[in-house]
C-alpha cells in the first residue's frame, strides 16, 4: 500500500502539476499586477503588525538602556538578533564564522595628574586655565598664531599662509564643533579632504606643528564647566581604525580668554581683536609670536581597548551564478543611550530610530527563511552599530567589508519608518512627519534610473503607498541623504534606496517609545521592502548604474 501510494504520487507529480502550475501562473498574471503576485508567492503576509510589535517592544525596551554604542544594551540586542538568525538558518557573515563584525574602539581619558602646561615660568591650572584633550605628548617650543586653523581652497582660507609652523605650537581661534563662519558643509563636500580642505587638526599636523592651542568660541566659553566635565571627566570613545597613527596625534589644549590675553600681550594684535576678527568671519594674517614666549605642553591619557559590532548575516541565493551577488538591507540597531531625563524618563528607547529599521530587517529575515523558495541572488543583512556616533558601522563595513562590495547590487537602508502623523495633529514638531500611508523615499533615482523605476513599479503594483520625494536631493538643507548609513554605500558606488518617515516630536528624545509606533504602517512598508528585495534579487541583471554620483558625494570624504 505504501509503496503504491508513493509511486502513484510520483506519477501524478510528474504528469499533473506542470500544466496546472502554468495555468495558474497565467491566470494570476492576467488578473493581478506582478508585485502583488510576488508578494503572495513569497509569503509577504507572514510579516504582520503584531509580529513587528512583539519584536520592537523587546528591542526598544528600557532594559536595552537606549542601545548606546558601545553598551550592554547594544550587545544584548546583537545577541538577540544573532540567536534568532541562527535559528532561522541564516549564514553568519561577520568575523570568523560569527554574525558579529567586531569594531575595535578606544576609550580615551586624559590623565590629569600627569598633564602639565607651562607658559614661560608660569604653571597653568588644568580646568581653570585650560582643558587638555586626550592624546599623549610632551613638547615645548615657540608659538605661532594660525588664524582659525583651517585650509579651504575654495574659500581662499589658509591659516598658515606665509609662516613656518614647523616645530612650533599653533594657537588658533576656532570652534571645536563647527565650521568657520561663512563656510557651509557643501563647501567641503564639493572638495576632497586632505587636498581641497583640511580641518585644524589635519592642517596643523601637515604644517609640522607640534601641538595646538585652541581659543574656543563664545558658546564653548559660556559652557566652560560643562565642557570641562564632558572632555576631561568622561572618556571619549573612537573607532581605532578611523584614527590617525598614535605618533601623529598632536597634543591639543583649549584655553580661557585670560590665558589668550597673556599669550598675545605685546603682540601686533591682542587676543580680543583676534577673537572678534576670526569668529566674525575674517581671516587675520598669521604671524609668529615673540620668541620670548615659550610654552611647554605635557599631556598624558589613558586608553582602554573596548569593542562593539555590526551584526551581519547572509541568506544564500539559489542561482549558482547570481548567488555571488547580494541585495543588501541595512538598518542601525544602536541609539543614543541614557541622557538628561525628560519628565523623569532618561532612557532614549529609540523605537522609531532605529528600532523600526532593526525590526523591519529582522521580520524580513524571518519571512525569507520561511518562504517556499529562495531568491536567486543572496540577501545581505547588516545591522549597523554606532550610526548615531557618526555612521560608524556602515563606514566600517564599507571600508572593511566581509563580502566583496562590488557584488552588492543595491543597498536598501531603513532608518525610521514607524511613526505617522495623525489627523488633526497641529504640533509644529510633527510638521514634516509622513502620514499613515506615506513614506519619504530618498536616493532611489540618484544613480540608477532602473532602480528608481523598479522602486516605483513595485509600490504601484502592490500596496500603492504615497512615496514622497521631498528630501530626495543631496542639496536639501536637512541633508538627510548624508545622515544615515546608506550614504557610506553610495560613496562606494552602490545604488541605494533610503526609507524614512520624517522628523517628529520624539526624535532623539526619551519619548521615542514602542507604544507610539504605527504598526499598521510598518507592516505596509516592511512588506513592500520585502517584495522589492525579491524583485531585485530575481532579476536577470543587476540595476544598471547609469548616472554620475552627485558632486556632493563623489568628492565627499
Question: Dihedrals φ, ψ of 290, to 5°?
Answer: -50, 135
Give the nearer residue to Zn ion in terms of CB position, either 67 or 542.
67
Q: How far apart are CA 148 and CA 173, in angstroms?
A: 5
Measure the CA angle with vertex 494, ends 488 and 497; round to 5°.
80
- First vs last C-alpha separation in the chain: 71
Q: Provide the grid cell at 531.
A: 517584495
Q: How far apart are CA 355 and CA 52, in angstroms?
A: 10
**Smallest gap from residue 285 Cβ to Zn ion (A):** 42
3-state secondary structure of 158: strand
Q: How far apart are CA 90 and CA 386, in angstroms?
A: 23
**Smallest gap from residue 520 Cβ to Zn ion (A):** 23
**Smallest gap from residue 69 Cβ to Zn ion (A):** 12
Give the nearer residue to Zn ion in terms of CB position, either 187 or 506.
506
How many residues of this chain interact with Zn ion, rule: CB under 5 A? Answer: 1
Give the nearer residue to Zn ion in terms of CB position, either 66 or 149.
66
CA distances from 380 to 265, 309, 331, 397, 401 (A): 61, 16, 12, 12, 12
Give the nearer residue to Zn ion in terms of CB position, either 353 or 518.
353
Beta-strand ranges (E) seen in 163-230 are 169-173, 197-198, 211-215
Give the nearer residue to Zn ion in terms of CB position, either 353 or 535.
353
Give the nearer residue to Zn ion in terms of CB position, either 353 or 513.
353
Q: Which of residues 336-365 bind Zn ion (CB under 5 A)?
A: 353
**Smallest gap from residue 379 Cβ to Zn ion (A):** 25
* Sign of the alpha-carbon dihedral angle for 16, 22, 27, 31: positive
Give the nearer residue to Zn ion in terms of CB position, either 267 or 345.
345
Residue partners of 301: CB distance under 8 A and separation at least 6: 108, 109, 110, 111, 134, 135, 136
**Smallest gap from residue 138 Cβ to Zn ion (A):** 40
**Smallest gap from residue 103 Cβ to Zn ion (A):** 18
Residue partners of 12: CB distance under 8 A and separation at least 6: none
3-state secondary structure of 277: helix
Give the nearer residue to Zn ion in terms of CB position, either 293 or 508.
508
Give the nearer residue to Zn ion in terms of CB position, either 108 or 353.
353
> Mask of contacts with Zn ion, 268-287, x by CB under 5 A?
--------------------
**Smallest gap from residue 223 Cβ to Zn ion (A):** 23
**Smallest gap from residue 351 Cβ to Zn ion (A):** 11
**Smallest gap from residue 388 Cβ to Zn ion (A):** 5
> Mask of contacts with Zn ion, 304-343, x by CB under 5 A?
----------------------------------------
Task: Say if residues 146 and 172 touch (Cβ distance below 8 Å).
Answer: yes
Beta-strand ranges (E) seen in 257-352 are 287-288, 295-299, 301-315, 326-332, 338-342, 345-347
**Residues within the interface to Zn ion (CB under 5 A):** 353
Amino acid at each position: 500500500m505504501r509503496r503504491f501510494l508513493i509511486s502513484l504520487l510520483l506519477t501524478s507529480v510528474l504528469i499533473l502539476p506542470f500544466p496546472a502550475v502554468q495555468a495558474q501562473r497565467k491566470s494570476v498574471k492576467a488578473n493581478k499586477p506582478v508585485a502583488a503576485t510576488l508578494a503572495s508567492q513569497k509569503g509577504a503576509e507572514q510579516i504582520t503588525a503584531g509580529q513587528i510589535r512583539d519584536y520592537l517592544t523587546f528591542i526598544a525596551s528600557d532594559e536595552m538602556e537606549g542601545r548606546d554604542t558601545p553598551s550592554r544594551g547594544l550587545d544584548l540586542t546583537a545577541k538577540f538578533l544573532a540567536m534568532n538568525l541562527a535559528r532561522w538558518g541564516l549564514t553568519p557573515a561577520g568575523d570568523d564564522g560569527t554574525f558579529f563584525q567586531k569594531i575595535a574602539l578606544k576609550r580615551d581619558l586624559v590623565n590629569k595628574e600627569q598633564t602639565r602646561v607651562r607658559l614661560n615660568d608660569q604653571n597653568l591650572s588644568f580646568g581653570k586655565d585650560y582643558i587638555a584633550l586626550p592624546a599623549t605628548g610632551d613638547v615645548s617650543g615657540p608659538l605661532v598664531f594660525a588664524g582659525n586653523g583651517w585650509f579651504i581652497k575654495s574659500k581662499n582660507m589658509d591659516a598658515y599662509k606665509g609662516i613656518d609652523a614647523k616645530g612650533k605650537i599653533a594657537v588658533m581661534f576656532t570652534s571645536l564643533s563647527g565650521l568657520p563662519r561663512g563656510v557651509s558643509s557643501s563647501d567641503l563636500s564639493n572638495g576632497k579632504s586632505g587636498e581641497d580642505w583640511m580641518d585644524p587638526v589635519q592642517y596643523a599636523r601637515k604644517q609640522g606643528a607640534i601641538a595646538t592651542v585652541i581659543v574656543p568660541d563664545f558658546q564653548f566659553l559660556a559652557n566652560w564647566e560643562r565642557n570641562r566635565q564632558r572632555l576631561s571627566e568622561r572618556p571619549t570613545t573612537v573607532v581605532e581604525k578611523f584614527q590617525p597613527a598614535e605618533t601623529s596625534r598632536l597634543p591639543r589644549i583649549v584655553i580661557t580668554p585670560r590665558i589668550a590675553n597673556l599669550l598675545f600681550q605685546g603682540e601686533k594684535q591682542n587676543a580680543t581683536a583676534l577673537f572678534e576678527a576670526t569668529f566674525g568671519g575674517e581671516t587675520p594674517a598669521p604671524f609668529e609670536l615673540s620668541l620670548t614666549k615659550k610654552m611647554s605642553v605635557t599631556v598624558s591619557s589613558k586608553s582602554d581597548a573596548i569593542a562593539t559590532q555590526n551584526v551581519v548575516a547572509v541568506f544564500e541565493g539559489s542561482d549558482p551564478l547570481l548567488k555571488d551577488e547580494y541585495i543588501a538591507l541595512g538598518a542601525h540597531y544602536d541609539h543614543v543611550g541614557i541622557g538628561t531625563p525628560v519628565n523623569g524618563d532618561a532612557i532614549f528607547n529609540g523605537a522609531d530610530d532605529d528600532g523600526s529599521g532593526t525590526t523591519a530587517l529582522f521580520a524580513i529575515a524571518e519571512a525569507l527563511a520561511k518562504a517556499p523558495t529562495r531568491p536567486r541572488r543572496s540577501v545581505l543583512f547588516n545591522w549597523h552599530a554606532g550610526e548615531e556616533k557618526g555612521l560608524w558601522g556602515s563606514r566600517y563595513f564599507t571600508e572593511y567589508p566581509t563580502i566583496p562590495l562590488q557584488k552588492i547590487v543595491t543597498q536598501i537602508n531603513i532608518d525610521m519608518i514607524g511613526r505617522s502623523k495623525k489627523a488633526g495633529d497641529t504640533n509644529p514638531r510633527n510638521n514634516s512627519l509622513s502620514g499613515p500611508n506615506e513614506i519619504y523615499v530618498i536616493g532611489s533615482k540618484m544613480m540608477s534610473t532602473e532602480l528608481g523605476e523598479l522602486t516605483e513599479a513595485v509600490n504601484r503594483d502592490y500596496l500603492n503607498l504615497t512615496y514622497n520625494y521631498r528630501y530626495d536631493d543631496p542639496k536639501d538643507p536637512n541633508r538627510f541623504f548624508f545622515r544615515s548609513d546608506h550614504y557610506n554605500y553610495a560613496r562606494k558606488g552602490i545604488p541605494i534606496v533610503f526609507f524614512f518617515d520624517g522628523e517628529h516630536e520624539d526624535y532623539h528624545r526619551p519619548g521615542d517609545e514602542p507604544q507610539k509606533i504605527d504598526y499598521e504602517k510598518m507592516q505596509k512598508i516592511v512588506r513592500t521592502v520585502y517584495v522589492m528585495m525579491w524583485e531585485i534579487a530575481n532579476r536577470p541583471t543587476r540595476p544598471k548604474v547609469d548616472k554620475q554620483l552627485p558632486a556632493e558625494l563623489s568628492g565627499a570624504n
